[in-house]
Chains A and B, each alone.
Chain A
Amino acid sequence: MLSSQRDHDDPIVRGNAARATRRKLLSAAALGVLAIGAKPARAAPDGELRIGAHVSLAPTWFDPAETSGIITPFMMLYAMHDAMMKAMPGNPMAPCLAESWTMAPDGLSYAFTLRKGVRFHNGEVLTAEDVKFSLERYRGASSKALKERVAGVDIHDPHQLTIRLNQPWPDFLTFYASATGAGWIVPKKYVQQIGEDGFKKAPIGAGPYKFVSFTPGVELVCEAFEGYWRKAPAIKRLVFKVVPDEATRLAALQRGELDIAYSIRGELADELVRTPGLTIKPALGSAPFWLYFPEQWDPQSPWHDRRVRLATNLALDLKTINQALTLGYSRLTGSVFPENFEFYWQPPAPVYDPARARKLLAEAGHVRGFDAGDYYCDTSYANIGEVVLNNLREVGIRVKLRPLERAAFFKAYSEKKLKNIVQGASGAFGNCATRAEAFVAKGGTYAYGSYPDIDALFAEQAVQMDRAKREVILHRLQQLVHDKTIFAPIWQLAFISGVGPRVGQSGFGLIKGFVYTAPYEELTLKGKA
């Protein structure tokens, strides 16, 4: 193999163990110590699971402090690290490193009790110091919001701590546990000793898999950490291979070079279903797609007329599109807010009614339809645009598809340079309020205009401390978004992956709203313990 970094710190070991690093030997020694006190668990981890990733893995993803607000890093975090609480099967906020927690009656502090006997991969015991350190070190998405509101961390003993807030903050746990990486714990001593850059090269955590080696753009190798507190993983090695081309990924899965292939779309998914031995694993993330009408605030534009926007909604044959592009696995929520978000309001189901769409257009003065200009979208989702285009043309809305390469698309979208129709999407973390802030409310990064009543509601909810009352306001806000037909929602996209014949438990769909396989300690290979 080509990796030089893999072996360079290993002057002693050769041959089969050539990939072992000094650090690994250390942790193995520590494991030996640990094993004495451990329960006589099941058979030792065995076998290798190869996962084909659709994106190039970045070392920042190995460090919870760098969580940037996209979902992909969690693919790695679930393997190498563990959090105070995190989404687990059946529980979006399951106690993990924190055994329990309580909120003070005044809402100004949260007391946590840590699980005892949890160790990092290097054998060090995880304590309250590490928790405090990880929170303070966190610098990723929403770190400013988090730090402004957290007044301090008090450590009572190695397993007891309290996080104090400046003001009551109902969303604190949401932010701490799921919207940021602040609740994912890294070893203080190790990080300080090896330095920030060193940590990205040789991360150590408290998760079920230890980091072994990483070759940028090629692969990441992890090995089971038998001392993982929840249980020892069943599979010995995890290999994440980067395979950028979708068709190649499927071919590799068919050949058994991969056991899991992420993101297999369209007709390739058909093939996945058809190939004996392979299983299709759809997972619903939190990325809704929609059409946006940026000119609806311009009285000169045809899109100013709500009937035209409604006609666009009615023209979309979403069921057929869903069936054709994602085998029916996407969810037609009719909303631009993700259904798994806090404060979500479920609008009426979308309707396909081209006859009524044509009638509405005629009423709006477009008896023979009209030339609606351009339809902008991100190139990677031009396939949705192509079929939507057909639908729109059937009712007389003639648009030209203008797919822009991703970077250029988001630049133009946020700089408010797009016109006519924009096909947008977002998988950002947060809740319905944060989504509204970016896409609906006045001044939002992707809002080309706004409505006063919606702005008023948005301002009102931002200062409302009572969760129930806030929910009522946010529901009303979403209802207005629906009534005004600001958007034509498409779907909440299903992320489709393929699983090969060697895999027993693939881990897909165990955690609601998470599109990758997890938790890794649950994964099994067939014929192995």
Chain B
Amino acid sequence: MRQYILRRVGYSLVSLFLLSLVIFLFVRVTGDPVSLLVEPGASPEDIENMRRQFGLDRPLWVQYWHFMASLATGDLGLSFYYRTPVLELYFQRLPNSLLLAAVAMGLSLLIGIPSGILAAVRVGGFWDSAGKIFALLGLSLPSFWVGLVLILFFSVYLGWLPSSGSGTTLHLLMPAFTLGWYFAAAHMRLTRSSMLEVLGSEYIKLARLKGLPEALVIGKHAFKNALIPVITLAGINLVVMINVAVVVETVFAWPGIGRLLYEGITFRDFPIVQGVVIIGGGMIVLVNLLVDIFYALIDPRIRLES
């Protein structure tokens, strides 16, 4: 087992190393940050000066070496645009992202789990279709559009909710719903299929045979067991949400990680892009690692297989 874990950790490190290389090169071949920080037509001296200031005049491998060396010490460098340490920017925004992701996840489960259960209990019936369609709608509509419609309706027309920004619970509702709805379909599907699986199991059949009321069978016994995979998925998606909320954060001017990354990309702020991608990638790799180890613990066959 220990060998298996060591190997998995090794793989994860390889993935992260590849990721650092990919993002380092990607961000550099796609645009010049200096040309974005000055107006077109600025003097060549100024451009050269800025390039030196950012360390972009050095050969690529030197830049990469520097990047990796400081990464090893936990330093992600100074943002070109903000001239602030990337780590500081990251941790300033992380609470917002976590908050948004957590609430969005809550709403997503609130939509996904009941509609999944309904769909499983009433296969082929009206509720099956209705729940499925509502959950799938979130997946079918681009979130920028959902967000804008919400702003129009709840902010401009009804005047109930603030259109954008952050700070209060009210600010949180619309972005969290927009983000959560998108993920609801995945949770609905998984709830439905794992409910179906559990409902078909001997254990439930036994409970029914014992004459337990149907509501109790479904609500307590089946649901409890069906929930485990859903919670696992939700955990993974929570990490994913932090990293994919770009569009929602842009529409609602929500100051999270997604927008930090997007700003980093538009300004070709190399340290921000590198930092956010590496941390985000690190989180995803870590979650995958944990899931793998967890499954290996409960199912020894996996260990042998690879």
A interface residues, Cβ below 8 angstroms from B? 1-5, 56, 58-60, 66, 68-70, 139-145, 200, 215-218, 241-245, 247-248, 251-252, 254-255, 257, 405-408, 410-411, 413-414, 424-430, 434-435, 437-439, 445-446
Contact = CB atoms under 8 A, between A and B. Distances in A.
Q: Which of B42, B50, B92, B266 has the most CB of A within 10 A?
A: B42
Given A248-B251, A251-B163, A58 B81 contact: yes
Contacts of B50: 68
A252 B163 contact: yes
B270 to A, nearest CB: 11
A251 B35 contact: no
Contact of B38 (A70, A255, A425): A70
A173 B62 CA distance: 41
Interface of B: 30-33, 35-46, 49-50, 81-84, 89, 92-93, 95-96, 148, 151-152, 155-156, 159, 162-167, 250-253, 255, 259-260, 263, 266-268
Nearest to A430: B41
Given A59-B82, A406-B36, A217 B42 contact: no
Contacts of B82: 58-60, 216
Given A407-B267, A408-B30, 14 more contacts: A58-B83, A68-B42, A70-B37, A140-B46, A142-B43, A143-B49, A247-B151, A252-B163, A252-B164, A407-B30, A407-B35, A411-B35, A437-B43, A445-B40
B35 A245 contact: no
Nearest to A407: B31
A437 B266 CA distance: 27
> Which 7 A-B pairs give the minimum distances between C-beta atoms?
A407-B31, A428-B39, A438-B41, A428-B41, A251-B163, A410-B35, A243-B253
B40 A255 contact: no
A254 B33 CA distance: 35
B39 A248 contact: no
Nearest to A217: B255
Contacts of B166: 1-2, 218
A215 B31 contact: no
A60 B81 CA distance: 8
Contacts of B40: 410, 413-414, 424-426, 428, 438, 445-446
A66 B40 CA distance: 17
B36 A410 contact: yes
B147 to A, nearest CB: 8
B251 A245 contact: yes
Contacts of B263: 56, 217
A4 B155 contact: no
A217 B39 contact: no
A251 B159 CA distance: 10
Nearest to B262: A244
Nearest to A427: B39
Nearest to B263: A56
B89 A407 contact: no
Contacts of A5: 92
B152 to A, nearest CB: 7
Contacts of B155: 251, 255
B41 to A, nearest CB: 4
Contact of A411 (B32, B46, B163, B250): B32
A182 to B, nearest CB: 13
Q: Which of B39, B166, B255 has the most CB of A within 10 A?
A: B39
A3 B81 contact: no
A4 B89 CA distance: 11
8 contacts: A58-B83, A68-B42, A69-B39, A243-B165, A244-B259, A405-B31, A407-B266, A410-B40
A437 B40 CA distance: 12
A248 B164 contact: yes
B151 A251 contact: yes
B163 A145 contact: no
B45 A407 contact: no
A144 B44 CA distance: 11
Contacts of A405: 31, 266
A255 B84 CA distance: 33
A2 B94 CA distance: 10
A255 B156 contact: yes
